[in-house]
């Protein structure tokens, strides 16, 4: 009998396969199609010649942990203890899975805010806990009153995602004020903050839980080198959490993966000592602005994109068909793959919205836009 009876092939795999089958431009799955920084490639080559081909320490390569201490202090003014508050993971998905397995018991509940990424629910179900799916407001911000009503004695964890996938929404300070009030009222509640797009924000600065002392002491913060450095195939991320929380997470981590690719960790440590992240938002903002400009005369209505590398579009003036069917037709008839937003909702709520990924070369975006403007 299946432990995940309702889980099938993810929409990302389905749409990417369709894109391949129909030779469509893939703006569905969230991965860049442009080259990695040559400095990072060179760092990997240099490290591969070193004697680092055996297991890394369980928590992470010491050099990479030290670079993350510097990075977190520089960008968030938070001092992190590399021995007790940091953990290198095999991607952000493993970080999320590990944290949920470590912190949530079988009789507890975890709140997920919809639309939400699909890796949140499965580990909750596998622990025997209960996922509580709560819709975000139409502007993709939390309905704090509704969240408060759903919290019970069994509520252990609240998962937040900022910048938000799929909407590209970025939280402002008032959202963190409300989150802080919630933590004050419910002493058993922890926060899992998915911040994998933390360095990709535009007009609004990204505010991190790392900067909120009253919140971070009850939070696990998840980051992704794959998203930050365009290396999704490396599958390396990291977590920051207070010692009493991290000690429990490490117990699970050591039996799940034990440690992460050591040469890649060493290469990232070398690269972090040589690079700056301050220009990443501007780099993606240029791509966002180009894509939006190219679609200006299309029939799509583009929603605001404040962060991440996603653009949500309203197609209601084009069709009334279900978003999943519209995306299938988009691939077959127009040669562009996108993701329907209904799949991010537990109730499959369909607002005639689809998600495009603009982490692509300018040429790819131009070709995709040309096709989309023909609709």
SS3 content of the chain, % helix, strand, coil (to 5): 40, 15, 45
Q: How confident is the model over 278-300, as a mean pLDDT? A: 96
Closest alpha carbon to 134 in 159, 156, 153? 159
Residues in the chain: 375
Are 310 and 357 a contacting pair, CB within 8 Å? yes
Token pair in block for residue 119? 């890796």
Predicted confidence band of residue 11 (pLDDT cuts 50, 70, 90)? confident
Confidence of residue 266 (pLDDT cuts 50, 70, 90): very high
Q: What is the C-alpha to C-alpha distance for residues 331 and 326, in angstroms, rounded to an integer?
A: 9
pLDDT over 70, % of the chain: 100
Residue spans of alpha helices (H) in 132-242: 144-150, 173-185, 213-216, 225-228
Topology classification of domain 38-272: 3.40.640
Tens of pLDDT along 111-136? Answer: 999 999 989 999 999 999 999 999 99
| Confidence (pLDDT) at 14 | 83
Q: What's the chain's average pLDDT?
A: 96
Task: Give me the helix-helix angle, 262-272 and 38-48, nearest 10°.
Answer: 130
Exposed e or buried b per residue across 68-96, where buried means at least 16 C-beta atoms within 10 angstroms of its C-beta: bbebbeebbebebebeebbbbbbbbbbbb
Taking only the tens place, the pLDDT of each residue in 55-69 is 999 999 999 999 999
What is the pLDDT confidence band of residue 8, given thresholds at 50, 70 and 90? confident
- Tell me if 375 sits within 8 A of 318, measured CB to CB: yes
All structural domains of the chain with their residue ranges? 11-30+279-372, 38-272
pTM as predicted: 0.96
> What's the topology of domain 11-30+279-372?
3.90.1150
Burial (CB count within 10 angstroms: exposed 0-12, middle 13-18, buried 19+), residue 184: exposed
CB-based burial of residue 20 (10 Å sphere; 0-12 exposed, 13-18 middle, 19+ buried)?
Answer: exposed
Instruction: Tell me the C-alpha distance between 224 and 227, whole Å.
Output: 6
pLDDT at site 9: 76
CA distance 224 to 88: 10
Please determine, for residue 107, whether its predicted confidence score (pLDDT) is greater than 80. Answer: yes
Pairing of strands 353-357, 339-340: antiparallel
């Amino acid at each position: 009998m299946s432990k995940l009876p309702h889980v099938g092939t993810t929409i990302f795999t389905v749409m990417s396969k369709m894109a391949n089958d129909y030779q469509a431009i893939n703006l569905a799955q969230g991965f860049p199609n442009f080259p990695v920084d040559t400095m990072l490639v060179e760092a990997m080559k240099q490290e591969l010649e070193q004697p680092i081909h055996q297991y890394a320490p369980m928590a992470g390569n010491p050099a990479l942990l030290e670079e993350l201490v510097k990075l977190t202090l520089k960008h968030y003014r938070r001092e992190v203890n590399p021995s007790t508050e940091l953990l290198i993971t095999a991607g952000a998905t493993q970080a999320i899975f590990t944290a949920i397995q470590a912190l949530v018991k079988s009789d507890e509940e975890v709140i997920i805010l919809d639309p939400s990424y699909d890796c949140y629910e499965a580990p909750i179900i596998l622990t025997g806990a209960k996922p509580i799916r709560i819709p975000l407001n139409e502007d993709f911000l939390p309905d704090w009153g509704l969240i408060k009503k759903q919290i019970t004695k069994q509520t252990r964890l609240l998962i937040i995602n900022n910048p938000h996938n799929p909407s590209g929404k970025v939280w402002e300070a008032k959202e963190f004020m409300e989150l802080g009030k919630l933590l004050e009222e419910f002493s058993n509640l922890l926060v899992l903050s998915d911040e994998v797009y933390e360095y990709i924000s535009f007009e609004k600065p990204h505010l991190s839980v790392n900067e909120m002392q009253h919140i971070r002491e009850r939070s696990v913060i998840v980051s992704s080198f794959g998203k930050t450095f365009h290396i999704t195939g490396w599958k390396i991320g990291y977590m920051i959490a207070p010692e009493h929380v991290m000690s429990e997470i490490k117990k699970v981590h050591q039996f799940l993966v034990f440690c992460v690719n050591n040469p890649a960790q060493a290469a990232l440590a070398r690269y972090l000592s040589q690079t700056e992240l301050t220009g990443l938002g501007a780099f993606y903002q240029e791509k966002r602005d180009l894509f939006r400009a190219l679609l200006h005369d299309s029939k799509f209505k583009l929603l605001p994109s404040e962060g991440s590398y996603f653009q949500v579009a309203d197609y209601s003036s084009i069709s009334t068909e279900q978003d999943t069917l519209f995306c299938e037709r988009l691939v077959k008839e127009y040669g562009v793959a996108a993701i329907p937003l209904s799949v991010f909702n537990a109730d499959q709520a369909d607002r005639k919205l689809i998600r495009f990924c603009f982490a692509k070369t300018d040429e790819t975006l131009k070709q995709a836009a040309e096709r989309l403007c023909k609709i």
